[in-house]
Structure 1
Amino acid sequence: MEYVRITSLSDPLFRQVHNLLSEVFPPEEVLEYSLWQEPLEDPGIRVFAAVHEGNVVGTTEYRYYPDWNVAMTDFTVIGREGLGIGRFLAESRLKDLRKLAADNGKELYGMFAEIYDPYRVGDFGFGGVKPMDPFVRREVLSHLGYERLDFPYVHPSWQGDGEAVTGLDLCFMPGQEGLESVEAALVADFLTRYYAVLGDKPAAWHAMVEQLRVKDNVRLLPL
C-alpha cells in the first residue's frame, strides 16, 4: 500500500478521494469539489491517499501548526475492510507529523480531532462501511490515545451556510502521557484559526469560543 500526497485537483487520485468522502460523510461535512483547489495547494494542509493496486482505499487530511506545535486531524476515511487501512493511515500520519515537529526542533505536543458521539446522535450511516461506524471510530480514537475536551462543542457547517453542527466532541491526543488538561487559550486560538476560512459562522460557535477565552484550562476526559 502506498501513502500518496495529493496537492492538486488535477491529480486523478483526488476524484477518488472526493467520491470516498461524499459516500461516507454527511453533506455538511464535505467541501464542494471545486473549492478544494486552494486547500490542496496550501503547504500547511496535508491530504494523503492510501492507494492499493491503483485504487484509493482510504484517505486522511491533517495539518501541523509549528507556532503551537500541535496538529489537527481533519478526517480519516477507511473505504474497505480487511486491508489494515486504519493502522496504515494512523502510523503513516504520525510518522509524518513527528518529522514535521522534529524539523521544528520539538516533539509533537498533541493532535486535535473531531469525533461524532453516537450516544447522542445515532443516525450516521457513513456509507455502510463498517470500519467507519461511529461507535467503532470512537473506540479506535480512544485506543490511539485521544481524549475528550470537556466543553460543549459545535462547529460551523462546511457548506458555508452559517448553520451550527452538533453531535460531535473535540478531542485531543497528547504527545506525552499524563497530560490532564489543555490550555483553554490554545483551544480557542486553534478553533479561531482553523475555521477562519468560513466567513459565516453561527452565534453558538462564537459564544463557545468566548466562553473558552475566559477559562484557564480545559480538562481531558476519557472517550
Structure 2
Amino acid sequence: MEYKRITSITDPNFKKLHDLMKEIFPPEEVLEYELWKEPLEDPGIRVFVAINGDEVVGATEYRYYPDWNIAMTDFTIISKPGLSLGRFLAQNRLKDLQKLANNNGKELFGMFAEIYDPYRVGHEFGGVRVMDPYVRREVLSHLGYKRIDLDYVHPSWENNGEAVKGLDFCFMPMNDELESIPASLVADFLTTYYSILSNKPKEWIDMIEQLRSKEIISLLPL
C-alpha cells in the first residue's frame, strides 16, 4: 500500500478521493470540488491517500502550525476493512508530523481533531461500517485524544451561516499526562482555521468569546 500526497485537483486520485468523501460525509462537511484547488496547492495543508493497487481506499488531511507547534487532523477516511488502514494512516501521519516538528526545531506538542458524538447525533457515514462513529470515537480515544471542555459548534463548510453541532473538539497531547491547555491556543487556532469561511454563526462567535474569557481549558476523557 502506498501513502501518497495529493497537491492538485487534476491528480486522478483526487477525483477518487472526492467521490469517497461525498459517499461518506454529510454535505455540509464536504468542500466543493473546485474549491479544493487552493487548499491542495497550499504547502501547509497535507492531503494523503492510501492507494491499494489503483484504488483509493483511505485518506487523511492534516496541517502543521509551526508557530503553535500543533497539528490539526481535518479528516480520516477508511473505506474497507481488513487492510489495517487505520494504523497505516495514523502511523504515516504521525511520522510526517514529527518530521515537520523536528524541522521546526521542536517536538510536536499535540494535535486537534473534531470528533462526532454519536450519543447525541446519529450519523451513518454513508453506511460504511468501518467508519461507524461509535468505533471511531473509541479508536481516537485509544490513540490518546481527549475532549476539550467546551460546548462545541463549528461553521458549516457550505458557508451558509449555520452552526454544525453534534461534535466534540478534542486534543491529543504528546504528553498523555497533560490535563489542560491554554484557552487562548484553542481560540486562536479555531479563529485561524475557520478564517476561510466568511459567514460565521452567532453560536460560534459566542463560543470564541467564552474561550477568550478563560486562561486554561480542561482536557477530559473521551
After TM superposition, the score normalised by the length of structure 2 is: 0.99
Look up the match of 2:184. Answer: 185
- Quote the Cα distance in structure 1 between the aligned partners of 2:129 and 2:181: 32
Query: Could you list the runs of 5+ residues in structure 1 that have no partner in the other structure?
Result: none
- Quote the Cα distance in structure 2 between the aligned partners of 1:129 and 1:78: 9
Look up the match of 2:96. Answer: 96
Look up the match of 2:77. Answer: 77
Look up the match of 1:133. Answer: 132
Q: CA deviation at 1:101?
A: 0.2
Query: Could you list the runs of 5+ residues in structure 2 that have no partner in the other structure?
Result: none
Q: CA deviation at 1:202?
A: 0.2
Paired residues in the alignment total 222
Q: CA deviation at 1:43?
A: 0.3
What amino acid is the match of 2:49? A
- Quote the Cα distance in structure 1 between the aligned partners of 2:64 and 2:25: 23
Q: CA deviation at 1:67?
A: 0.1
List structure 1 runs of 4+ shifted beyond 4 angstroms.
none
- Quote the Cα distance in structure 2 between the aligned partners of 1:193 and 1:88: 29
For residues 1-223 of structure 1, the aligned pairs below 5 Å read 1-122=1-122, 124-223=123-222
- Quote the Cα distance in structure 2 between the aligned partners of 1:21 and 1:183: 33
Identity in percent? 69
Q: CA deviation at 1:130?
A: 1.2
Q: Deviations over 1:5-28 (max 9, x none)?
A: 000011000000001110000000
Secondary structure of the residue aligned to 1:87 is helix
Q: CA deviation at 1:175?
A: 1.1
Q: CA deviation at 1:128?
A: 1.3
- Quote the Cα distance in structure 2 between the aligned partners of 1:128 and 1:119: 17
Secondary structure of the residue aligned to 1:63 is strand
- Quote the Cα distance in structure 2 between the aligned partners of 1:90 and 1:129: 19
- Quote the Cα distance in structure 2 between the aligned partners of 1:153 and 1:185: 15
Secondary structure of the residue aligned to 2:90 is helix
Q: Deviations over 1:51-108 (max 9, x none)?
A: 0011100000000000000000000000111111111000000000000000000000
Secondary structure of the residue aligned to 2:43 is coil
